[in-house]
Chain A
Amino acid sequence: MIAVDESKQVLDQTSTSSDSDLSRRTLLKTATGVAAGVLGASLVGRTGTAFASRPRAGGFVQIPFYTTEDDPNTQAVHTAAAEAFSGANPGVTIAFNYISNADRDQRILTGLSVGQDLGIFEVGGAYRAEFAQGGYLYPMDSVIKAIGANQIAAGSRMVIGGHDYVFPYGGGLIGQWMRTDVLQRLGVGTPKTFDDVVAVAKGAKKFGMFGIGLPVGTPTAVEYAFPAFLYAQGGDFFDPQGNVVFDSPAALQAIENYAELLQYAPPGNVNWSFPQFIQAYLSTRVAMVGYPGRLGVSVVSKAPQLAPKTTVAFPAFGPQHVAQWRWSYVAIDKRTKHPDIALKFIQYLFTNQAGFGTQYADSVPGQLIPSIKSVRDTWLAKSTSPYMKAHGSWVRSLISGLPYGYDISLGMGAMAGGTLKYTNNPPPPWAGRAFGVSGIDGEMIGRIALNGQSPKAAQQWAVQQLQQIAKDWKSQHPSWRPPT
């Protein structure tokens, strides 16, 4: 016999909570409440540029701007322009986000893929066609029309289906920077032919220097150097219809010339990225380096003793007067909530509507040469920058290459005919695969320099790779047709 009182106590203990215990129901209610609160807070309170560009309380709009131009002077221009624009457009904020050059395109691609509103973003030249193909870009026709299409540098636009999808905000010639003291000691002037370049590179060895800063293994770096050799021979990678034309004698000559100069290059050039070009020249151990205008700015700021012994000229790598000119682009995310405001700011920042066009060019003179003629002319005529006063000749030398500059990221096949014919066509849509971070030309040069492969065999390998890349891309996009 069990006393009821005892059995009742047992039941009480198991089915009811005492004052000091937390019941299951209370625990679950508390946990659910906390989780709901956290979730609600994260949904309601989300901030940041990832979800910007939408009206907030009171009509506040924030436009994100993703860029790799993080030089302090350029950042200052960004900030000033953003503040002035906000003053002129109450309720609008431009939020600059600085991203790394090394993974810019992956960062942008990831953002686009996950639905992040990127607002205005910098887009790699080699990828712009495919981004447009993917439907990510908002047309920029209104900006081009407002500025005037004839004002934009020839060959710098990208027109697909009658629409402009990117804006070239700045660029520069990859000029040949040289030590004038080395030239003087050798008793030669600025190299005018490839043989002259070889002679200087060879002669620099006598002074304990390396002749020329040419990279080997890292494709990004090789794409800053090799294409100039190809264009100087009248060659190209693809023709306007997207067929591989890299199997030409001109291309083979370019490869052989590059390989010949490599013996005068400094060690460690297999791991070069952009900073190493500048580093090589500033180390005072390399007589010649190819780079845009930033090298001159770096000389003045970091190694001023080199400035009087430095000059820059159009590269002379072959019989054709064509070298490499790179443009930098911005685009607008097609899904951004206020593309009209984004377009307005692009025009505000890069033209002289409020004077920022010339300020932008002045921030790194020679590196961000404006694509807009009127801005360029005004800048050259009226720049008050100490750098331009002291070294304006360097900048003018680089600008003189504007009509003769081409690049893998520009309209496909402009050099395929042996001479430069600018178009506003897009680059090959598969350019990102062929010339991106792991480009074919970089590996090709690496096979010659590191594996001892002959230039001819390396060229054949590169041709096969380029053909396969184009074929794979076309099979994935059967509706693509070459631009007419």
Chain B
Amino acid sequence: MSVSTTSGVPAATDAPSAGAPAIQRRRKGISDRTLGILMILPAAVLIITYLAIPLATSVGLSLFQEDTITHASVWVGLGNFTWLAQNSLFWDSLGRSIYWTAGNAIIQIVGGVGVALLLHAELRGRTIARGIMLFPFVIPAVVAALIWNYMLNDLVGVVDYILQSLNIISQPLGAMSTPGKAMNTIILISSWKYMPFMIVMFLSRLQTLPLELSEAARMDGCGPLGVFTRITLPWLMPVIMVALLLRIIWSFNEFDMPFLLTQGGPLNSTMTLPLLIRYLAFDYLDVGKAAAVALVMIGILLALSRLQSALYQRAESRLQ
């Protein structure tokens, strides 16, 4: 097929005459592929700099016994991992991390759903409550830890003073100073601090719940519990799954609150894995062992993320 031209310039679809090369028209400028690569290059550089390189460095460090101060190092291969496997400090810290993570997740999810339901209901003072509810979340962690430390101080703290004045207790609670109680105390404090985030997530989801569903359920004879379990909770479930995953990752990694509140004490009873990493790197002064713990943590979190993704997919598909 030929195309007539008015300008005398051969069109792209002109059939080449015998022996003459086809005229190629190339688009000027950069291709989509190249442009795409260039656009993601800054982010890629950041990821490589702040993720890939530290990760590779950690892997390398974990194979050595290296003094944090002098950097004198001795090759030990998997010796650091063997040391961890045989050291009760690691297993105890792992157990505490699991307890800390589970405690935070359960309290914040359950509490968050409960408070979100209250804030979603047509109750008086709801608007003010929604504002006040955010207060713990906006306080810096350092300030929150200082305040709670002062309030729970066994000698001069206001909590023990009030409880003893009211004859509710005769001896100080020892909330932060008793090994058996300190972990539960810091879980509660951390939950108080971070629950508002969960509440906001759940409340946002609740506000997208079609009212007709609840009304239809009630008209069909469903009580409040039935509405909650058959309508509200399934509706919330995808967000709960996401919130749970986020909370698990954040809590498992969390250094701030345990360190600020108890520094891992009393007697290591609140030493979780992040605090163990700090202890190994800066107190025990062996950065190789610290790196080994960090890699173990990464492995655990990756496995948890995969599991959580699967659960999320299932929750979403059930909704559909």
Residues of A within 8 A of B (CB): 1-2, 4-5, 7, 11, 14-16, 23-25, 28, 35, 105-106, 109, 127, 130-131, 133-136, 216-218, 266-271, 276, 279-280, 283, 285, 432-433, 436-438, 443, 446-447, 450-451, 472-473, 475-477
Tell me the total A-B contact number using a CB cutoff of 8 A: 135
B7 at the interface (CB under 8 A from A): yes
The reply to whether B29 and A23 form a contact with Cβ atoms under 8 Å apart is yes
Cβ of A28: which chain B residues have Cβ within 8 Å of it? 30, 35, 38
- Complex Cα distance, B265 from A451, in Å, reads 13
B26 to chain A, nearest CB (A): 9
Interface residue from B72, B176, B268 paired with A271 (Cβ < 8 Å): B176
Chain A interface main SS type: helix
For A136, A433, A475, A476, which residue has the most chain B Cβ atoms within 10 angstroms? Answer: A476
The reply to whether A446 and B171 form a contact with Cβ atoms under 8 Å apart is no
The reply to whether A432 and B3 form a contact with Cβ atoms under 8 Å apart is no
A286 to chain B, nearest CB (A): 8
Answer whether A218 and B263 are a contact pair too, CB < 8 Å, given A24-B29, A476-B73: yes
- Complex Cα distance, B263 from A288, in Å, reads 26
Can you list 19 A-B contacts (CB < 8 A)? Answer: A1-B1, A4-B5, A4-B6, A24-B30, A109-B68, A127-B69, A130-B67, A134-B71, A217-B266, A267-B154, A267-B155, A267-B174, A268-B157, A271-B262, A432-B69, A436-B283, A436-B285, A438-B283, A476-B66
Answer whether A279 and B74 are a contact pair too, CB < 8 Å, given A4-B11, A28-B38, A217-B266: no
Interface residue from B6, B28, B74, B153 paired with A476 (Cβ < 8 Å): B74
- Complex Cα distance, B3 from A109, in Å, reads 77
Cβ of B284: which chain A residues have Cβ within 8 Å of it? 433, 438
The reply to whether A477 and B265 form a contact with Cβ atoms under 8 Å apart is no
The reply to whether A437 and B282 form a contact with Cβ atoms under 8 Å apart is yes
B238 to chain A, nearest CB (A): 37
The reply to whether A285 and B155 form a contact with Cβ atoms under 8 Å apart is yes
Known: A2-B3, A24-B35, A217-B266. 7 other contacts (CB 8 A): A1-B3, A4-B5, A23-B29, A130-B285, A267-B171, A450-B266, A475-B74
Interface residue from A35, A109, A268 paired with B153 (Cβ < 8 Å): A268
- Complex Cα distance, B179 from A1, in Å, reads 88
The reply to whether B27 and A268 form a contact with Cβ atoms under 8 Å apart is no
Cβ of B11: which chain A residues have Cβ within 8 Å of it? 2, 4, 7
Cβ of B72: which chain A residues have Cβ within 8 Å of it? 476-477
Residues of B within 8 A of A (CB): 1, 3-7, 9, 11-13, 25, 27-30, 35, 38, 42, 65-74, 149, 153-157, 171-172, 174, 176-179, 262-268, 279, 282-286
Cβ of A276: which chain B residues have Cβ within 8 Å of it? 155
The reply to whether A270 and B265 form a contact with Cβ atoms under 8 Å apart is yes
Cβ of B157: which chain A residues have Cβ within 8 Å of it? 268
The reply to whether A270 and B155 form a contact with Cβ atoms under 8 Å apart is no
B111 to chain A, nearest CB (A): 27
The reply to whether A437 and B283 form a contact with Cβ atoms under 8 Å apart is yes
A123 to chain B, nearest CB (A): 11
B147 to chain A, nearest CB (A): 15
Answer whether A270 and B267 are a contact pair too, CB < 8 Å, given A127-B69, A472-B65: yes
Interface residue from B70, B174, B286 paired with A130 (Cβ < 8 Å): B70
B9 to chain A, nearest CB (A): 8
B161 to chain A, nearest CB (A): 11
The reply to whether A2 and B266 form a contact with Cβ atoms under 8 Å apart is no
Cβ of A1: which chain B residues have Cβ within 8 Å of it? 1, 3-4
- Complex Cα distance, B42 from A276, in Å, reads 49
Interface residue from B12, B73, B265 paired with A7 (Cβ < 8 Å): B12
A385 to chain B, nearest CB (A): 29
Interface residue from A4, A134, A283 paired with B69 (Cβ < 8 Å): A134
- Complex Cα distance, B69 from A477, in Å, reads 12
Cβ of A271: which chain B residues have Cβ within 8 Å of it? 149, 176-177, 262, 265-266
B25 to chain A, nearest CB (A): 7
- Complex Cα distance, B174 from A437, in Å, reads 22
The reply to whether A268 and B70 form a contact with Cβ atoms under 8 Å apart is no
- Complex Cα distance, B298 from A141, in Å, reads 48
- Complex Cα distance, B283 from A76, in Å, reads 33
B262 to chain A, nearest CB (A): 7
